[in-house]
Amino acid sequence: MNRKQALKTIAATTLSSVALPQFAKSMNALPADLKGNISHSVCQWCYNDIPLEKLCEAAKGMGIKSIDLLNPSQWATAAKYGLTCAMAYASDLGLSRGFNDLVYMKN
């Protein structure tokens, strides 16, 4: 590692050791009526290397409420863990085909 990269690493480590605990502390300072009222979600395709079962289990453990952009065949897996799929694919074509590809829009 060169000197410039070492300095960047030290700076990032220092910043995270100061900023993250402060952020966590500020989250605890939220008024009681706001706690638990924010619904977080993740998109499954961002974690393609993680099997959907494991992603659902981890998401549920973190308090995430939804795994988005699932195919219809995957909805039952999310539901098994009490998760929703707030924004889903209508078919198994995915994002790069279907509405984004005129070949599939001709009929």
10 Å Cβ neighbour count for 66? Answer: 18
Q: What average pLDDT does the segment 78-97 reach?
A: 81
| Predicted confidence (pLDDT) at residue 70 exceeds the cutoff of 70 | yes
Question: Are the C-beta atoms of residues 73 and 92 closer than 8 Å to each other?
Answer: yes
Residue 97 reports pLDDT greater than 70: no
User: In this predicted structure, what is the pLDDT of residue 33?
Assistant: 66
Average pLDDT, the chain: 75
Q: Are 70 and 94 in contact (CB under 8 A)?
A: no
pLDDT at 56 over 90: yes
CB distance 48 to 71 below 8 Å: no
Please report, for residues 4, 7, 17, 18, the alpha-carbon distance to residue 11 in angstroms, rounded to integers and kept in the order given.
11, 6, 10, 11
